[in-house]
Structure 1
Amino acid sequence: MSTVDGVAGTTQTKDQLAQTRLTTDTQSFLRLLTAQLKNQDPMQPVDSTQWVSQLAQFSSVEQAVAANSKIAEVLSELKSSNDRMDLSYIGRQVEVDSGTVGLKDGKLSASYSIPEGAKSVDLYILDGEGRIVASAKGDPLAGTHSFTWDGTTSTGTKAPEGAYTVLVQATDENSKSLTTGLTHSAKVTGIRREDGSTVFVLDDGTTTGRDSIIAAA
């Protein structure tokens, strides 16, 4: 399992660097201001409006950096909260809204939903190369139905265990395609980070993202 990291840590590092630079620049400016005030020509004093303007600019920058620091703290806290939430899924049974389902111990199980008006329903099992390895007729009755595949391909051989894609195609009496849904249940065995997002590893050999988990037990 890789170390969970994210944007907040990078933002905080940049903010610390900006704060250090601001402190250094402010001290340099104040030393320069003091030196110029000490050595100014009494007959031609420096315009006080100019000094006030420059001080105001420094003050605005300082406030902006301080605000960024607070935002970085909030992001860091949110990230930590999400990390703790992700870890809490390990060992739990989750229901996933995904067409990718795993064949494990000679069994692939899923649930598909059919809308009103379906006349015909066909189920297709595709391998990792996108090839149809098996097919079956589904139930056109509106509602949710269970589907199980024992790994037997259309040629009578046994498919290897792993991830497969289940396609559900429903059509009405006019052969018009209808929208269907597919979910499956599996246990979370681990998590990892990919491109800044959490990936949940499931015990059926598949993976899923946080947004695809619709229920957990």
Structure 2
Amino acid sequence: MAITSNISAIKQYDPAATAKAAQDVTSTKDLTQNFLKMLTVQLQNQDPMNPTDTASMTTQLAQLNMVDGINKMNTSMGSLLSQIQSSDFINMSTTVGKYAMAPSSNINYDGSTPVNLAAKLASDASNVSATITNELGQKILEVDLGAANEGVVNFSWDGSDAAGNPVAAGMYKLLIASTTTDGKEEKPTAYVSSRVATIGKNGTAIEVNLADGRTLTPSEIAQWVA
């Protein structure tokens, strides 16, 4: 008994067909169409004494459909992520000109604008002190912040030294020390604020560029200061 085949009717990829160069014939859609055509031909021409296992064919078709669904979902998720990133960038652009508080011990004093500072305590303290030194390491000012609870303690420096005289513009360093309620000495994290100069992008990551030269990610900013 002769068995005929219509397999030649299956769509073939022709690399010379420039009109179809933009079409991806290896896409899930094309694979599914080819699979259905092959399935039809096989069913029409199968040996009655040894029929093709249609269950396995159906499983393959289901897998192709699942892959197609995953690809579509990935495309949708990628589009949604792109929209969220664009929205975040636009929202961050509204912070230009505001003051961001972030971890740092360096104060870039401009000679006139008071600087907002902070100390982050890991535990309750019976006493917290802040020391400001110049580039030579000489003490300019020491401030007793008193007792404070665990968390962020805010204060500001108006640019004066211990005698109340204004200091020159330049780089200064902030040192924080504390004594816990059980008598332990600690070095809390120092925070320094600076004006947001620009908002930029590094790939898909948003960068916050401060006037004092620091470049931060939004997650590094602990506070926004008016």
> TM-score, with normalisation over the residues of structure 2?
0.64
- Aligned pair partner of 1:97 in 94, 102, 105: 102
Distance 1:122 1:81, change over 3 A: closer
Residues 153-192 of structure 1 aligned to structure 2 (within 5 Å):
161=170, 165-171=173-179, 176-178=184-186, 180=188, 182-192=190-200
2:137 match: 133
Using the TM superposition, give the Cα deviation of residue 206 of structure 1 relative to its aligned residue in structure 2, in angstroms: 2.9
2:41 match: 35
Structure 2 CA distance, aligned partners of 1:141 and 1:180?
14
Using the TM superposition, give the Cα deviation of residue 104 of structure 1 relative to its aligned residue in structure 2, in angstroms: 3.9
Structure 2 CA distance, aligned partners of 1:50 and 1:100?
67
2:54 match: 48
Residues 15-94 of structure 1 aligned to structure 2 (within 5 Å):
21-91=27-97, 93-94=98-99
Structure 2 CA distance, aligned partners of 1:36 and 1:159?
89
Gaps of 5+ in 1: 1-17, 152-157
Structure 2 CA distance, aligned partners of 1:173 and 1:148?
30
Answer 1 or 2: which has greater helix percent.
1
Query: What are the Cα deviations for residues 16-37 of structure 1, in whole angstroms up to 9, with x where unaligned?
Result: xx99622232233223223323
Find the residue that maps to 1:117 and give its secondary structure: strand
Structure 1 CA distance, aligned partners of 2:168 and 2:47?
92
Structure 2 CA distance, aligned partners of 1:94 and 1:172?
30
Query: What are the Cα deviations for residues 167-193 of structure 1, in whole angstroms up to 9, with x where unaligned?
Result: 212236986224645444432111223
Larger CA Rg, structure 1 vs 2: 2
Structure 1 CA distance, aligned partners of 2:57 and 2:66?
14
Residues 97 and 213, structure 1, Cα contact 8 Å, conserved in 2: yes
Gaps of 5+ in 2: 1-23, 149-153, 162-166
57-66 or 195-204, which deviates more: 195-204
Identity %: 24
Distance 1:36 1:19, change over 3 A: closer
Structure 2 CA distance, aligned partners of 1:179 and 1:196?
35
Find the residue that maps to 1:204 and give its secondary structure: coil
Q: Is 2:200 aligned against 1:200?
A: no
Using the TM superposition, give the Cα deviation of residue 139 of structure 1 relative to its aligned residue in structure 2, in angstroms: 0.9
> TM-score, with normalisation over the residues of structure 1?
0.66
Using the TM superposition, give the Cα deviation of residue 117 of structure 1 relative to its aligned residue in structure 2, in angstroms: 0.8
1:117 match: 126
Residues 188 and 200, structure 1, Cα contact 8 Å, conserved in 2: yes
2:6 match: none
1:146 match: 156
Structure 2 CA distance, aligned partners of 1:53 and 1:172?
66
Deviating runs (4+, > 6 A) in structure 1?
none
Task: Give the root-mean-square deviation of aligned CA atoms.
Answer: 3.7
Structure 2 CA distance, aligned partners of 1:89 and 1:38?
68
